[in-house]
Structure 1
Amino acid sequence: MCGPLVVCVMSDGGIPGEPNTRPESEECPADDAFGFGDDLELNPFDGLPFSSRYYELLRERQTLSVWEARCEFEEALVNSQLVVVSGTAQTGRSTQIPQWSAEFCLSAKYQHGMVVCTQSSAQSAVDLALRVADEMDVNIGHEVGYAIPLENCCSSDTILRYCTDHVLLREMMSDPFLEHYGVIVIDQAHERTVSTDVLLGLLKDILLQRPELRVVVLAVPPATDKLVSHYHGVPLITLEASPPAEDVHSNSGNKDYFFSALRLALEIHRTKEEGDVVVFLASADEVRCAHSILQREGTRLGAELGQMVPVVLCPRRGGIPPGPPGSKRSRRVFLSTKQGEDMWWATESVNFVIDTGVQKKMVYNPRIRANSEVLQPISQYQADIRRRLCGPTGKCFCLYQEDGQLPAENPAQILESNITPTVLFLKRMEIAGLGQCDFIERPDPEGLMQALEELDYLAALDDDGNLSEIGIIMSEIPLEPQMAKALLASCEFDCVSEMLTIAAMLSATSCFLEPPVGRSHEAVQCHRKFQHPEGDHFTLINIYNAFKQSQREPYFTTEKWCQDYFLDHSALKEAEAIRSELTETLNRIELPISEPFFGTKTNTHNVKRALLAGFFMQIARDVDGSGNYFILTHKHMAQMHPLSSYGPQSHKLGLPEWVVFHEYTLSQNNHMRTVSEISPQVYIQMAPMYFFYNLPTSESKDMLQDMLNPEGSRKRGDGKQNASTIGGDADAGCAVVSQTYDRCVIQ
């Protein structure tokens, strides 16, 4: 196999071919252990001579604060299975430590595996891999590569691999003990994503099984204190941080943070001081609104001030775009949310940071199986990261009081998320031989019970609480459990092609673009052309099919077609890639893929049955004929989302009485997203009988019970009488349901 990627730097911190200036007393004891005691003119990872750019970048790397801790890190890696490194993004930890880990694996001739470094975002993984490949003087995709959802830029020669934490977690499905790797670097552990927390929990068990494995955890303080405590006194390496920018705090509260931030951005531009501006807002909606306002206000500024260019920073679609051409006095105002905090590559041009100090988050409520949008203050470590983005010579404006007592760190996402997919994965890991996951913070018991209950409803668990055959197949499909079950059901109902499209479109970013100011009506008219009378799931199929048809048209590009119809081209390309991945998964596990029959009555009926097989807990009924929908599982009232086929902005198709929905968000308007009409009779046939025992009592449930037993008595008094009636109705409706079970074995 071709040797590792890149890095070969002198272990003493000098440049190969140049005199060693390190005093003998400062020699690194790990030098001999790594086998880099002699000057190397050839790159040990690919055997080729180093380029002049390698030496140029090496000089830059040696100025990073992480370089001062290189010997300490190398020694810790030799002597300890797990090492925690504490330092901010600007210390160079994310680029240098994976390279030194690659040298460690090289010294062992890769007997124990290669190096993998996880990131919380896909764009960070790509950016870091490109930078490190350049520093190591190797080719991206060969010795250094990256793997993110739907894109794998690696080869058999790859010895340093950047990937998202979720990708590494999925990799454990086929390699539970991660035996392909000798060093695992968990970066951005302070983000406390669900996937990172699960990895940190499982790695404790894996380290016991693999004494040769090394794990390095990178985080910012104070999160590292909790990590060291969790792993019982492992080595902690603290990197010296560069001084943060001068910060200016607001004396008032941040109730009007949005307009205060925009006024401040305009005021900075009027001062004519050089440098770009980063504005941290609470949500993507605020970013879009701010972009529109700054564009409008920028045209009113005098020409003597230079051009002000507002830029929406979207990490998932690439890094910072180049500055506007022409005048040197042009200034970019980057509008970002939390996702832009760890931009280690943003420091060169940014001289001002405006921090609103708040963020909008989706917090999952297991009682109602729905997300709630909440406005929270950022954590202290987030504030520190933002202050350092513009360097010590810049200025950070904090739109909150200095003594506002920000929380030290954000709560772990596993405490605020739907953990049903996580529980399904952990059940799969139990089969692979891994013990219990030792979480840094254990999930809420109520959320855990809800997850197990939902998996049981989906027939993913057997009578002993282990994964059933259906559950094992569901765990192989990279979808949420409910959607995975619906896709499995489509194999029985001969509508796999249509369900693949629905699953891909719902897994990708929303394909509907926010129209420019003044063109909302035009956008609605364009979207109306795709509307399907049966509901939003079928509308998504129409859009995808039209997009695929546009690819075959020689007269215009798909980008132009998407622009004309106010659709997001990148989102549709993402859906196309997801659909291809799902198709490959079904082929790999040898599930049948039926031919498309979209548009026929039979196909429409079958698609709805497949949807109900997975989403039978997400049913609502219009109780008054005016669009006030009662959700049967938790008795909340909801409205159609404005972008729905049945929404107020869309063509009136007539409001259906019974619907299945994909998502419900507890917010100001309590919207249901992606809604399609269903027949209650079909719902009764598809829903498992044990679900009826758990469905809360309501008028809507009584109506379903009457359909199960139309001739039975509907006299109900107290709760005990109701339970007794349900039991009788269940027996009466048994013939209907058992027919479905005979026909659909996955139930």
Structure 2
Amino acid sequence: YVIDSGFVKQRQYNPTTRMYSLDAVEISKVQANQRAGRAGRTRPGKCYRLYPLSVYGKKFLDATVPEIQRSSLAGSVLYLKSLDLQDIDILKFDFLDPPSYDALEDALKQLYLIDAIDENGSITSLGRTMAELPLEPSLSRALLEANELGCLSQALTVAAMLSAETTLIPSHSMSAEKKRKHQPSTLPNGFGLGDHIQLLQIYELWHQIDDKADWCRANNLQMRAMKLVDNVRDQLCQIMQKIAKGPMHVKISKRHEEDRNYTALRKSLFSGHTNQIAERMLHHNGYKTLGLKAQQQLVQVHPSSVLKTDEDGKYPDYVIYHELVATSRPYMRNVCTVKMHWIQPVLDKFSRLDVNKLRCNNNMIYSPSEKKKKTGIRFIYQPMDDDDKESKIRAARERYLARKNGK
């Protein structure tokens, strides 16, 4: 038997608020038929639908909303930019399932703020390297900055931990009796600097313990998720080998006082989350996200955060967050404190942001005679001819197939 409620919980991204939410939405006709098919998979069965036929016929969509229309598109847009097809207008690109203009504009803004594209929409050398990493652009940017600041090993760990979202979720297999008797966790607290530091400390502690399974059970962590983190970290190390400027093996952080600030790591994380900054309100612990006025939100630190308050009970003035989630109220998940003087250059970039320039690759090139001039250089617009376009497309397709086949 199958009982079909007619609803499904679906994770959706709102580009206007830059917030993720897990909403209960009506299923599509395709999903309804799939659920009914499960009743007869091994033998004849019945499907009980808890909704009238009129709802199925008039309210349900024919097909499920494509994932590209309910996700952040920063990674996809960065990949398009990396193809070097200079006549592509991102906002008018012919997607199979076209996302909204708001989603594409949001992606362009994100990429500009983390230096993946310049003011004219051309991909930077930094952005080209980011496009080769199998991570969301914010984490790719953080890794590259960490490589310059000498904390790549720590940043690799944090990126891997953030890739396994269920790492800190208690195991669902734990019985109610065990949960009742479970002792309070003795996990590190990140020195109160934020959740990214705690994630780093948890992995370092797990890495040096021999009996990892017992330690995970004692701290209510999922062993399978920690193994996934370990595998992801190994893969990232292999990818970063060519450009790494320092050691990538796990280094257990020292516990002496000067190491407690994790300044280099926090600055690296900040460089990848410049579109995800929040400022504490003056009289309470609520935060306001920084950025364009239309996208500013009043948010709270998630209750699970280890971010520490000062002696007056107030959180730090400025934090970065990995994502916004909407549950009973808007929350920031995985927050980390940052310094005020890091933020001013980002605010200056906001003032220069022009989506109309970001949407296309810069198709302005020097004429041969003008390259030799030292002064008075002007740009000449030279649209690509059809043969050049075809060769660019073929080259991009070959690069994609080579990456796909692991060549």
TM-score by length of 2: 0.74
Find 1:410's aligned residue among 51, 61, 64.
64
Q: Which residue of 2 aligns with 1:215?
A: none
> Aligned equivalents of 1:689 and 1:377: distance in 2?
43
Secondary structure of 1:638's counterpart equals: strand
- More divergent stretch after superposition (528-537 vs 574-583): 528-537
**Aligned 1:244-255 pairs, distance under 5 A:** none
- How many Å separate the matches in 1 of 2:307 and 2:126? 34
Residue 299 (structure 2) aligned to one of 638, 645, 651: 638
Question: Structure 1 residue 373: deviation in Å?
Answer: 2.8
Provide the rounded CA distance (Å) in 2 between the counterparts of 1:617 and 1:435: 23
2:162 corresponds to 1:542: no
- Say whether residues 1:627 and 2:285 are aligned partners: yes
Which one of 661, 664, 677 corresponds to residue 321 of structure 2? 661
C-alpha distance in 2 between matches for 1:681 and 1:401 = 59
Distance verdict in 2 for CA 1:529–1:441, change over 3 Å: closer
Aligned length, in residue pairs: 334
Alignment-derived partner of residue 606 in structure 1: 264
Match of 1:563 among 217, 232, 243: 217
| Long gaps (5+) in structure 2 | 355-407
Letter in 2 for 1:540: L
Tell me, yes or no, if structure 1 residue 489 matches structure 2 residue 138. no
Q: C-alpha separation between the residues in 2 aligned to 1:593 and 1:688?
A: 31
Q: Does 1:592 align with 2:245?
A: yes
- The CA deviation at 1:663 is 0.9
Residue matched to 1:525: 184
C-alpha deviation, 1:639, in angstroms: 1.6
User: For 1:545 and 1:597, how far apart are their aligned partners in 2?
Assistant: 6
Who is 2:339 aligned against?
A: 679
- 1:15-52 per-residue CA deviation (whole Å, 9 max, x = no partner) reads xxxxxxxxxxxxxxxxxxxxxxxxxxxxxxxxxxxxxx
Q: CA separation in 1, counterparts of 2:156 and 2:233?
A: 6
Distance 1:617 1:518 in 2: 44
Q: CA deviation at 1:526?
A: 0.7
How far did residue 637 of structure 1 move? 1.5
Of the three residues 6, 9, 16, the one matched with 1:367 is 16
Aligned-partner Cα distance in 2 for 1:670–1:543: 26
Counterpart of 1:389 in 2: which secondary structure? helix
**Corresponding position: 1:355 with 2:10:** no
The alpha-carbon deviation at position 612 of structure 1 amounts to 1.1
1:524 shift after superposition? 7.9
Q: Please, which of 49, 52, 57 is the counterpart of residue 398 of structure 1?
A: 49
Q: 1:594 to 1:692 in 2, by over 3 A?
A: farther
Measure, in 1, the Cα distance between the counterparts of 2:185 and 2:260.
28
Aligned Cα RMSD in Å? 3.0
Residue 429 in 1 paired to residue 63 in 2?
A: no
Alignment of 1:36-115 (within 5 A): none
**1:418 offset after TM fit, Å?**
0.8
- 1:526 match: secondary structure: coil
Residues 98-143 of structure 1: per-residue CA shift (max 9 Å, x gap)? xxxxxxxxxxxxxxxxxxxxxxxxxxxxxxxxxxxxxxxxxxxxxx
Shift of 1:376: 0.9
Letter in structure 1 aligned against 2:335? V
- The amino acid of 1:407's aligned partner reads L
Counterpart of 1:377 in structure 2: which amino acid?
E
Matches within 5 A, 1:171-186: none
CA contact (8 A) 1:532 1:542 kept: no
Q: CA deviation at 1:693?
A: 5.1
Aligned twin of 1:302: none
Instruction: Report the residue type matching 1:607 in the other structure.
Output: L
Q: Tell me, what secondary structure is at the counterpart of 1:404?
A: helix
* Alignment-mate amino acid for residue 324 of structure 2: Y
Q: Which amino acid aligns with 1:591?
A: A
State the partner residue of 1:728. none
* C-alpha deviation, 1:602, in angstroms: 8.0
Query: Are the equivalent residues in 2 in contact too, given 1:646–1:653 (CA < 8 A)?
Result: no
Higher relative contact order (CA 8 A, sep 6+): 2
CA distance in 2, matches of 1:661, 1:519: 33
Counterparts in 2 of 1:544 and 1:389: CA distance versus 1, 3 Å: same
The aligned counterpart of 1:689 is: 348
Specify whether residues 629 and 462 from structure 1 end up closer, same or farther in structure 2 by C-alpha distance, changes over 3 A only: closer
CA distance in 2, matches of 1:459, 1:587: 22
1:91-490 residue pairs with structure 2 within 5 A?
A: 352-391=1-40, 393-405=44-56, 406-430=60-84, 438-462=94-118, 464-490=120-146
Contact preservation (8 Å) 1:598, 1:604? no
Structure 1 CA distance for aligned equivalents of residues 25 and 194 of structure 2: 35
Give the direction of change, closer, same or farther, for the CA distance of 1:654–1:520 in structure 2 (3 Å limit): farther
In structure 1, what residue type is equivalent to 2:233? R
| Alignment-mate amino acid for residue 689 of structure 1 | D
Distance 2:228 2:315 in 1: 31
Counterpart of 1:85? Answer: none
- Give how far 1:694 is off: 5.8
Give the stretch that moved more between structures: 398-407 or 575-584: 398-407
SS at match of 2:184: helix
In 1, the alpha carbon distance for the partners of 2:160 and 2:184 equals: 24
* SS of 1:371 mapped into structure 2: strand
Taking a change above 3 Å as real, the CA distance of residues 379 and 438 of structure 1, as seen in their structure-2 partners, is: same
- Distance in structure 2 (CA, Å) of the matches to 1:438 and 1:635: 30
Which letter does structure 2 place at the counterpart of 1:683? I
Give, in angstroms, the shift of residue 518 of structure 1.
6.6
C-alpha distance after superposition, 1:397-442 (max 9, x if no partner) = 2222222132211122211111111111122234699999642222
Q: CA deviation at 1:593?
A: 2.9
Distance in 2 of aligned mates of 1:690 and 1:610: 18
Say if 2:11 and 2:21, in contact at 8 Å, map to a contact too.
yes
Amino acid at match of 1:580: D
SS of the residue aligned with 1:397?
strand
Displacement of 1:494 in angstroms is: 0.9
Give the deviation of 1:509 after TM superposition: 2.8
Displacement after TM superposition at 1:647 (Å): 8.7
SS at match of 2:230: helix
Change in 2 beyond 3 A, CA 1:570/1:682: same
Contact 2:289 2:299 in 1 (8 A): yes
Question: Shift in Å at residue 607 of structure 1?
Answer: 0.9
Deviations 1:227-254 (A, max 9, x none): xxxxxxxxxxxxxxxxxxxxxxxxxxxx
Q: TM-score, normalised by structure 1?
A: 0.42
The answer on 1:510 being equivalent to 2:169 is no
Contact residue 146 and residue 265 of structure 2 kept, 8 A: yes
Contact conserved, 2:193 with 2:307, CA < 8 A, in 1?
no
* Identity across matched positions, percent: 28
2:232 equivalent to 1:578: yes
The 3 A distance-change label for structure 1 pair 407 and 463 is closer
Write the distance in 2 (CA, Å) between the matches of 1:469 and 1:455: 13
Contact 2:138 2:273 in 1 (8 A): yes
- Evaluate the alpha carbon distance shift between residue 522 and residue 488 of structure 1 in structure 2; reply closer, same or farther with a 3 A threshold: farther
